[in-house]
């Protein structure tokens, strides 16, 4: 597999560590209502779709960027690769 790193271009997947569902970016607020249940959901429930999926990949053998990769789990096509920190900052700004 090749991952089109937004800063470094095409890199072989062997340079990366895979962390699964990118929902891990959405850590619940500990003071919100029912935060206990939300944290259990955050910690233990993962989507495993056949089709488009947002996943976390870490470029450990490279520039150490955490990436959000949108990948089709059926065709293995990679549709989008984004820097997790940009996505998260954008979400925080809202």
Partner 1 sequence: MRNSSHPITNKQKLSFTFNGKKYFGYKGDTLASALIANNIKLVGRSFKYHRPRGIFSAGSEEPNALVELGDGPYKEPNTKATNVELFDGLKGSSQNFLGSINFDLMAINDFLKNFIGAGFYYKTFMWPRRFWEKLYEPIIRRAAGLGKLSLKADPSHYDKGYLHCDFLIIGSGISGLMSALLLAETGSEVLIVEEDFILGGRLNSERLVINGKQSSIWIGQAVKKLKSLKNVRILNRTTVFAAFDHGIFAAIEKKTDHKLEKSSKPRQINWKIYTKHCILASGAIERSIAFPQNDRPGIMLAGSVRTYANRFGAHYGQKIAIYTNNDDGWKTADDLKNMGLEIKAIIDTRKEIEAPSSSISSYLGQKITKTYGRKGIKAIKLSSGSKLDVDCLAVSGGWSSNIHLTCHKRGKPVWDNIYKNFLSVDNAQKDDIIPVGAARGIFEIQNIISDTNRVILSLIKKIGLSMPNRITITSSKEQYGCSLDLVSSSNPSNSFIDLQNDVTQKDIELSFREGFKSVEHLKRYSTLGMATDQGKTSNILGLASMAKLKGTNISEVGTTIFRPPYVPVAISAFAGRSRGKDFRPTRLTPSHNVASKRNAVFVETGNWLRAQWFPEKGETFWRQSVDREVLQTRNSVGICDVTTLGKIDIQGKDCSEFLNFVYTNAFAKLPINRVRYGLMLREDGVAYDDGTTARLGKNHFIMTTTTANAALVFRSLEFVRQCLLPNLDVHLISTTDSWAQYSVAGPNSRRLLQKIVDKPKDITNENFPFMACRELTICGGFMARLFRISFSGELAYEIAVPTQYGNALFDALLSAGKEFNAIPYGTEALGVMRIEKGHTAGNEINGQTTAQNLGLSRMISKKADSIGNMLSEREGFNRSDIATLSGFKPVQRNQKLEAGSHLISAGKKPTMENDEGWLSSVAFSPTLGHYIALGFIKRGETRIGEKVCAVNLLQNKTTEVEIVSPHFIDPEGVKQRG
Q: Which residue's CB is nearer to partner 1, number 49 or number 60?
A: 60
Contact track, partner 1, 62-91, x by CB under 8 A: --xxx--------xxxx----xxxx-xx--
59 near 6, Cβ under 8 Å? no
Token pair, residue 44, equals: 């233990």
Size of the site for partner 1 (CB under 8 A): 35
Nearest distance in Å: CB 30, partner 1: 4
Token pair, residue 13, equals: 């997947």
Nearest distance in Å: CB 85, partner 1: 4
From CA 21, how far away is CA 62, in angstroms rounded?
21
From CA 94, how far away is CA 91, in angstroms rounded?
5
In the list 56, 57, 69, 81, the residue contacting partner 1 (rule: CB under 8 A) is: 56
């Amino acid at each position: 597999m090749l991952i089109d790193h937004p800063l470094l271009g095409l890199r072989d997947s062997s340079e990366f560590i895979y962390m699964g569902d990118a929902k891990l970016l959405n850590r619940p607020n500990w003071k919100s209502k029912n935060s206990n249940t939300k944290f259990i959901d955050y910690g233990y429930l993962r989507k495993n779709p056949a089709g488009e999926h947002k996943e976390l990949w870490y470029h450990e053998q490279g520039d150490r960027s955490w990436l959000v990769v949108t990948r089709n789990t059926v065709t293995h096509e990679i549709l989008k690769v984004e820097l997790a920190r940009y996505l998260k900052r954008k979400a925080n700004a809202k």
